[in-house]
Structure 1
């Protein structure tokens, strides 16, 4: 019998345990999503069948909302379940049905069926989207079964549009999909789905014909099916990994391949990453490059640190994940295996060691340890001759000796600390005895290890051991030891001192590394906060250049592409242009997406080092840095910090560019909408009256002798009415142009509001002939500071609008009253009112309320002009529906001038 071997030190992941505890303690319901590649695969049918099975098991199931689309088999399944009546809403004059959320919550079933997760609710519903209704049901402890097609997942929206050439407007955030407790994929082959479509089981015949020609082509369905399979597999794989981490299960469970490649500063590590990439492509598996950060990592030369950083960046550029993990175990192999088991890695790639046999016998072999510890994980050991690269790296001692000159000061200070400890031991020995002397000397060794590291602490160990022998072990003042017991004490002291110094030095190394990471994180956080407060591209570029220059003590220049050429956009200190060498390096870095210039392998003669600024969409610019120091431009730690700062700066630049692109697209769309609306208005409101005038005039010319006087008067009236209509149209266009150019300046004076209202009514008498007018003006209205001509035009436009949008024989009411320091004037009609979601749009240029397929005649400029005129006179205008939903109300609020009576008397 073979049993699974579990490491006794294996512990569940804290994050996975917290997530599991949160789910268990949460009172929310469980969410199950039935996913399909396209409409018609049978998601709703399968959901209903599952509901019937649950009901037979004694579970309370209700239908919150299920759309049958007229399919007989689906309707039959719905009839066998309890159905919560739908909520009826009046939307744009039509009755629409939505799920009655409150009724489902009040019913409190164990499971609620809610179809079409991505559906957009009608105006007047509590939530704009149905998935928000589902979240509220879950928060009340109700389990929910729902269905969605893969094209509605937000992150796949662009991919689906590229495949099908159809942009899906209704989407569901990925977070909703990811929080599901269960995912069931309803899979159907493209041929079977097309057959269902032809049989009329998905759409009615005419719709089915169009669908087969476009969306439901075999190629589209195959691609959508692959998307559904992959997205569901990713979610299941994530659930498996969470389960393993929460239960401390040592992987791998080979449900899917995952590859881990171990990298170091070795020149052949880049070839190892490329080998892993080829292996991952063959297995269709993700891969991760991992570097274990040990004490030796701090002894690497600048060249080796740069090489390691380049190797990790190479892994990311090839589509992998790159991680640096601090060593926590006694052996590197333990850290690698623990990481692999915790992340369900199935295969590990590592390079074959080039160290001598003696070195491996005395210091151990990572490769051999890894093979022994890997368990069920496959280990690929790649020989050096399979990987192109340079010669094998030198040892850490050789590296340290080569990269930095010998500094004797730490060693001298270590001997000084031992002398201090020796003096303290001499003082306490007469009182406390020799038994406590060794503790004092050990304390000195630990102090040296913590302060100065491993090698000075080893010197301190030797010095303390010899001092302990010379000054305290009899016979004293000689290195001879006569008592065998003292020999054992001396040897034990030296061994303990060496162990303690080694451990203390390791702790100091780890502490230094942790402090370095903390400082780097603090700098990145401060940098991100600076960028978050910027809104324009110039501000982001300046903040990026200034902060990087400040943090790294370098000069910075930023270049972005402009009309195909790299152009200097910002810098600190300010820089306008580059010399030819720097410009060539910048262009090479931009074109090849790799660093170039000073300190690199490409164009090293340039004054600056240039790095591409890249995001998920590719390179967006180039950053160049330089300083006045000789030697390396940056230390490895500074280079890592620079890479992180450049990445954050690139994301901030991309954010601003995306916002600018969206604004540009928005302006283009708005301009196109206005152009289309203007052409529509001109084609209707200019052409119609001209046609009427021409028709009447032609009739009078051709039939002048046959027309009676009454007919002639009617034709002349038509000419006059249509000419006035045409004149109003042109006047509106001119007024709108003057408003936008700022050419209209109100000529205000004190006026009686009732006189202006009367003048507007007399002018509008023709357009109000089919309506009743109710006029109610308060008696205590003060004189108002108005431009009488402009305000009369405002009232005329409001009356014209009310007449257009209300049926004949209805009442148009004009009412006014005083409210504190304002006068309120309202024009109310008895029409269909304004759609609730379009109330704010009625004052937009060329806007006209649409009812069904019918659009009212007019330019759509009257209310926009009215708002401009009223605001020019320091007033406000707003629109709303009447409380009884029997029409619209347009309200003007005008300020009461200060001390109007005094002003009137003075006049």
Structure 2
């Protein structure tokens, strides 16, 4: 048996999904096939059982049924007060979502899952309320009937002849943690209805003759049982294949989107088929050159069908081309489609073609199963009216046509005058028709130019000339052929032009995606990602964009982009209510706002960009005049949003990596510091304690006593200097160098520093060479004194007794140069390269030198760089080392101090 190493990405997904599952509440649905089967009763009974088990159970909303047994079960349960909503002169009692979230019980009861909320509430559907409760970690009990499930709506309507308006997406039912089927025999349900336990007497009689007819109930019960059995089968398959990453289904169902009235039925059928085969589900929209000319009602129908397909779990995609069967077949072949679902209406055909739509698709994709869903309703379309409404008159195009055809006539008259045949003249007119079709918009100008060409040919070139009659009847055939040839030429030219326009749109959108990918890859900061993302989305959708940057589930920065001129976005799109929608999106990780069922009254559509199970940003697309995004653009902008999410995640990972490296560097610094301090403090402390112990014995002579006292003094000074350096290093490492600069005399700085150097300075010759006693620099005097002390102490430490140390000061332009030179052994070339590194000592050891941590010169470099200067080391001729650094010069004129470093 071979071992397969787990995929890290898959493991991460499993971890994230398990974390989400642990935080998310559990949904239990009490499922029935009709009203009155006992769903609410069973839910309340389960609530009492949970309460007896010590679980915090609250009733959020129960439909006010006039059923005594159900009402009795409400006693003893805690309630959340309903939300009172005024509606058309009456007050409605609705579920109070915000009160439930604030109360946050363990289990909440919310009746009627498919209920539609009144206008003004956060969500248009109650199932969205329940999803928010689940996201907040609250378990929910709810009820629903089989007729409210979206994919079953057509089947139920065909049985009961009633179209149910309140429906839930299949995913809500499929993703429920528990589904409890509440089942009774149809005869028992009818008996309950007759006894008045479901509806009042008048309603009961009406129900028995309609929805509650026995044959209806039997059929609905079968559908409910099958739906429950399908759910059980899914669980068995899931459990059976859990952990087997190689399991994949081969079925891929494709449904074609259109504005046809039968299309929702086709989509639901395809969704049920994908569900039954456990296959992938894709919805394809073929955008043609005429799509932009569709009437508003057809565009609305397409958008509604697209939304329905999304709710049923379809992946939306768009292709472009006028040959719809060819586009479907090509996409099916490339994408591995196994079954194509189409709709067919009894549309009256004006022209019968050799191959119909389905026949052509079958011939193009013979290996793919094609299912045609018939529609019993007859839908008649007035093609003539539809085409006439698309005719648009343009003065510019009209005069172009007149000009081209006039030029064709003039050219033809000239050709005729020089003796060319009629065939050449006909060619010139056809060329004029071709030019007209290519230079104008719409087929109508090409057709009119064809007629003008035929009439002109007859009028100017056929005997008798300057009349519309002809002596020879054979010319009628010539005119007819010329007209047909001209119209065909015009039609083909217009079609090629339309296809070129479509290709240009495709190329433009593809380029936008490629540009977005390139620009986002080059972005190095969060601001760059935000601005470049806004620009690319605007290019695609031509809508103002708001970009909210999110950190720790809070909006930390807002970027707005309206157009290429970077004009300001109106305040109404950035007000508190709109920001609140973005905040809701962050918290719930779902899109909301205009065009959705959550907070649809918002002025923008807000989409979360999610990475590693957290919201990285929210993109707000401003929907001016409630104009929705075209179906052809939706798949493209989703791909772009995925690119932006990837860029944000990459940026965050880079920031985490930088932080990790910084932490690692700090840990290394801390380890080196502790190691160095533990070693170097031990030596002077041991010396101090040993000398003090000898002094306490009183058995040593005066000379030895004096020497021991000096040793203690030297070691204590060394410790003081070490502690000062350590404090300075820690302060710089934590907060950086915080300068408090002011003009200071260089002479005073050097004098003060020499008063605090090593006691052994008396064993060396120290000279200060400063010509200008009034030379001033702009510095933080305390830090610069520390620099001079460290360098001079270094020179004392590494030179022999009696050596000479020179402190030279000179001016070079706007800088003062201070150099400290000794005549010791010097420093090797290798050591010069590392001399200013932390923990580096001249003997090459990192912090293990007996009497030095290697902090002093590193500290000096940090201080000088913070002052805007430079520090360096070089050889001293003929022997020794020179340490130098530069500071900003201040010129003194009377009482005026002039800082040269601030001049231009």
TM-score scaled to structure 2, two decimals? 0.51
Whether contact under 8 Å (1:466, 1:479) holds in the other structure is yes
The aligned counterpart of 1:442 is 430
Structure 1 residues 675, 562: CA separation in 2 closer, same or farther (over 3 Å shift)? same
1:877 aligns with 2:871: yes
**What's the CA shift for 1:876?**
3.1
1:573 aligns with 2:562: no
The aligned counterpart of 2:353 is 362
Q: How does 1:273-422 map to 2 (within 5 A)?
A: 294-300=288-294, 304=299, 324=319, 349-352=339-342, 354=344, 362=353, 364-365=355-356, 368-374=359-365, 378-384=367-373, 407-409=392-394, 416=402, 420=406
1:502 aligns with 2:502: no
The aligned counterpart of 2:478 is 489
Q: Look up the SS of the partner of 2:627 in the other structure.
A: coil
Structure 1 residues 596, 469: CA separation in 2 closer, same or farther (over 3 Å shift)? farther
1:732 aligns with 2:745: no
**What's the CA shift for 1:508?**
0.9
Larger radius of gyration: 2
Distance 1:797 1:314 in 2: 80
1:632 aligns with 2:621: no
Q: Look up the SS of the partner of 1:843 in the other structure.
A: coil
Structure 1 residues 488, 869: CA separation in 2 closer, same or farther (over 3 Å shift)? closer
Q: How does 1:725-804 map to 2 (within 5 A)?
A: 725-736=718-729, 737=731, 740-743=737-740, 747-749=744-746, 763=760, 790=786, 792-796=788-792, 798-799=794-795
Structure 1 residues 359, 585: CA separation in 2 closer, same or farther (over 3 Å shift)? farther
Q: Look up the SS of the partner of 2:368 in the other structure.
A: strand
Structure 1 residues 631, 325: CA separation in 2 closer, same or farther (over 3 Å shift)? closer
Distance 1:529 1:790 in 2: 50
Q: How does 1:168-207 map to 2 (within 5 A)?
A: none
Q: How does 1:547-586 map to 2 (within 5 A)?
A: 555-566=544-555, 569-571=558-560, 572-573=568-569, 575=571, 578=574, 582-583=578-579, 585-586=581-582
How far does the alpha carbon of each residue in 1:546-594 deviate from its partner, in whole angstroms, 9 at most, with x for none? 8877997755433333543456723342749855763564355556666
The aligned counterpart of 2:161 is none
Whether contact under 8 Å (1:595, 1:609) holds in the other structure is yes
Distance 2:358 2:830 in 1: 72
Distance 1:847 1:161 in 2: 43
Whether contact under 8 Å (1:746, 1:873) holds in the other structure is no
Distance 2:875 2:273 in 1: 66
1:622 aligns with 2:618: yes
Structure 1 residues 405, 365: CA separation in 2 closer, same or farther (over 3 Å shift)? closer
Distance 1:265 1:849 in 2: 81
Unaligned runs of 5+ in 2: 16-243, 561-567, 892-904
**What's the CA shift for 1:864?**
1.8
Q: Look up the SS of the partner of 1:362 in the other structure.
A: coil
Structure 1 residues 632, 876: CA separation in 2 closer, same or farther (over 3 Å shift)? closer
Distance 1:274 1:801 in 2: 85
Distance 1:518 1:757 in 2: 75
Q: How does 1:120-131 map to 2 (within 5 A)?
A: none
Whether contact under 8 Å (1:290, 1:325) holds in the other structure is no
Distance 1:161 1:802 in 2: 57
Unaligned runs of 5+ in 1: 1-35, 39-149, 165-225, 231-255, 767-772, 804-808, 883-887, 900-907
Q: How does 1:680-699 map to 2 (within 5 A)?
A: 680=675, 683-686=678-681, 689-690=684-685, 692-694=687-689, 696-698=691-693
Whether contact under 8 Å (1:262, 1:350) holds in the other structure is yes
Q: 1:605 aligns with which of 597, 601, 608?
A: 601
Structure 1 residues 37, 855: CA separation in 2 closer, same or farther (over 3 Å shift)? farther
Distance 2:556 2:385 in 1: 41
Structure 1 residues 484, 160: CA separation in 2 closer, same or farther (over 3 Å shift)? same
Structure 1 residues 309, 798: CA separation in 2 closer, same or farther (over 3 Å shift)? farther
Distance 2:686 2:869 in 1: 39
Structure 1 residues 663, 371: CA separation in 2 closer, same or farther (over 3 Å shift)? same
Whether contact under 8 Å (1:453, 1:509) holds in the other structure is no
Whether contact under 8 Å (1:465, 1:493) holds in the other structure is yes
Q: Look up the SS of the partner of 1:726 in the other structure.
A: helix
Larger mean CA deviation between 440-449 and 682-691 belongs to 682-691
Distance 1:890 1:619 in 2: 57
Distance 1:444 1:589 in 2: 59
Structure 1 residues 427, 272: CA separation in 2 closer, same or farther (over 3 Å shift)? farther
Whether contact under 8 Å (1:445, 1:461) holds in the other structure is yes
Q: Look up the SS of the partner of 2:344 in the other structure.
A: coil
How far does the alpha carbon of each residue in 1:814-842 deviate from its partner, in whole angstroms, 9 at most, with x for none? 99999996787678998997989x956x6
Distance 2:382 2:838 in 1: 74
**What's the CA shift for 1:504?**
0.5
Q: 2:856 aligns with which of 851, 858, 862?
A: 862
Q: Look up the SS of the partner of 2:601 in the other structure.
A: coil
Structure 1 residues 800, 741: CA separation in 2 closer, same or farther (over 3 Å shift)? farther
Whether contact under 8 Å (1:292, 1:325) holds in the other structure is yes
How far does the alpha carbon of each residue in 1:691-731 deviate from its partner, in whole angstroms, 9 at most, with x for none? 55345435654xx1566778756754553343223112122
How far does the alpha carbon of each residue in 1:164-217 deviate from its partner, in whole angstroms, 9 at most, with x for none? 9xxxxxxxxxxxxxxxxxxxxxxxxxxxxxxxxxxxxxxxxxxxxxxxxxxxxx
Distance 1:390 1:539 in 2: 56
**What's the CA shift for 1:509?**
0.9
**What's the CA shift for 1:608?**
2.5
The aligned counterpart of 1:30 is none
Distance 1:392 1:813 in 2: 112
- Considering only aligned residues, what root-mean-square deviation do their CA atoms show, in Å? 6.8
Structure 1 residues 552, 755: CA separation in 2 closer, same or farther (over 3 Å shift)? closer
How far does the alpha carbon of each residue in 1:601-627 deviate from its partner, in whole angstroms, 9 at most, with x for none? 544322223334467877522233447
Q: How many matched pairs?
A: 627
**What's the CA shift for 1:503?**
1.6
TM-score scaled to structure 1, two decimals? 0.51
Q: Look up the SS of the partner of 1:863 in the other structure.
A: helix
Distance 2:392 2:580 in 1: 41
Whether contact under 8 Å (1:288, 1:320) holds in the other structure is yes
**What's the CA shift for 1:409?**
4.5
